[in-house]
Structure 1
Amino acid sequence: MQKYIELPKKDVGAKVENEWYAICQKKQFPFITLKSRTKLADVHWDYITYPTNEDGILNDLKGKLRDDALEIFRKYADKRSEYRGNDHLVWFKDLEIEKAKLAAEELYDLVVCYIDGHKKA
């Protein structure tokens, strides 16, 4: 299963990104993108509207998702990297491309784990 989309360098009119967003919204997947440059890449997770129960789960995390995402970032970051995040947005900037791909997969798993784990509880 595809966990993120790697955006082309020239995504004219954000066509690929918008198509991925529509897929994620329809299937209720976390919306995660990876944008590569020559040697570095950015990973971005942005909140999409989920069913009421899942929205409630994400809204009740009180920084936990942000903190766990920061741990993923630290695992793959170097001195050039930058982190921004909260419970509705995570941005890993300037990771090495291969590390960014791994971070994107882990970030997807983290969001799904919170939603699925709380649904089963």
Structure 2
Amino acid sequence: MRNDGIDELGQLAAAYAIERVQPFEDVTGLASALVKRYLLTFEDSLDDYQASRDASREDPNGCTWPEWSALDLRTRAHYIGLELAPCAVAMLDRIAESETDIHDVIPEAWEIGC
């Protein structure tokens, strides 16, 4: 069972990610739906988010950022949201690339039986 902290982390991450995919959103709401779909399993990757954040704490200018364990909930959510948004955009691109082939299998009239 999920706890309140995970639920709040997911809601905040969703808000950040959905804000980032807004330029790619259309009337279908597909970009937001993809973000929500990825959020269904985000907690399975929490250790990966922590490892990635901790491994990249030093920027090219030599500034060192706090460890994952020292971050507040909003900062963790922002980090997760920044990862989820490009995943949704990449999937939108894949869908767009494959749409040209989607109508290659148009049914024969006799298959419909009208």
TM-score per shorter chain, which class?
0.3 to 0.5
More helix by share: 2
TM-score, scaled relative to structure 2: 0.32
CA radius of gyration, larger in:
2
More strand by share: 1
